[in-house]
């Protein structure tokens, strides 16, 4: 009877030869940002988190990326909503904030402090961060640009983060990739963003212990 009971338990646990094994749960990520993340004037499936998730799945990664982008959000606005925008169980955050700070001419010290506080609070929750950088517009002057542009590499270095230096690389100044406002990416622009950031995201996933599944 004892041997039979033990065999039954082993079988129920899926440990018998040839038994089916449950697939691992997908890695739960949150893309936390402003309209560039939210997908301003785009369908939901053309927004950055959805396009990135499809690109990663096509490469064999098991991920789910929640869209926690809010149009018009600043770094301080993001800090205010951090706790409810990044739920418990989140295993990694792609942090994309600061563009609206720059457009409003916010003191870079304010942006830096807010972003660093977001990073610190996520670290306290054991949630790793990939930092998506932003660059200041040329018309803001050399002093402002120097102070603002230094925020992202400085924070990434201080906290050991994976950094993608410029979220809009390949989009800014490219008419085919931006909407008529000259700021927000079109669907094609989002695809360009994903193409650019993908290697950094793969490095980030590697740090989280995920590697792509082999196909076939």
Distance separating alpha carbons of residues 30 and 32, to the nearest angstrom: 6
- Checking phi first, is residue 60 left (phi over 0); if not, alpha (psi -120 to 50) or beta? left
Give the angle 136-137-141 at the CA atoms, nearest 5°: 90
CA-nearest of 94, 115, 106 to 137 is 106
Out of 34, 75, 85, 184, which one is annotated catalytic? 184
Residue 25 tokens read as 């749960």
**Active site includes 75?**
no
CA-CA distance, 168 to 99, in Å (whole number)?
A: 10
Active site residue 80: no
Catalytic choice (73, 75, 181, 200): 181
Please give the Cα distance from 42 to 186 (Å, whole number). Answer: 8
Cα→Cα distances 21→11, 12, 192, Å:
11, 11, 37
User: Three-class SS of residue 116?
Assistant: helix
Please identify which of the residues 34, 35, 73, 149 carries the catalytic annotation.
35
**3-state class of 53 per DSSP?**
helix
Q: Is 181 a catalytic residue?
A: yes
Residues annotated catalytic, as ranges: 35, 181, 184
């Amino acid at each position: 009877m004892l041997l039979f009971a033990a065999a039954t338990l082993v079988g129920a646990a899926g440990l018998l030869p040839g038994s089916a094994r449950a697939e691992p749960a997908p890695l739960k990520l949150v893309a936390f940002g402003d309209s560039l993340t939210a997908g301003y004037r785009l369908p939901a499936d053309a927004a950055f988190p959805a396009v990135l998730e499809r690109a990663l799945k096509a490469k064999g990664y098991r991920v789910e990326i929640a869209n926690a982008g809010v149009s018009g959000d600043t770094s301080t606005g993001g800090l205010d909503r951090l706790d409810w925008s990044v739920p418990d169980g989140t295993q990694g955050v792609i942090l994309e904030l600061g563009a609206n700070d720059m457009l409003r001419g916010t003191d870079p010290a304010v942006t830096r402090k807010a972003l660093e506080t977001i990073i610190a609070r996520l670290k306290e929750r054991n949630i790793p961060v990939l930092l998506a950088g932003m660059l200041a517009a040329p018309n803001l002057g050399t002093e402002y640009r120097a102070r603002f542009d230094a925020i992202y590499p400085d924070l990434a270095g201080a906290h050991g983060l994976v950094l993608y230096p410029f979220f809009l690389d390949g989009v800014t100044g490219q008419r085919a990739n931006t909407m008529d406002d000259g700021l927000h990416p079109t669907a094609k622009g989002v695809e360009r963003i994903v193409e650019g950031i993908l290697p950094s995201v793969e490095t980030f996933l590697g740090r989280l212990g995920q590697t792509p599944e082999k196909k076939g």
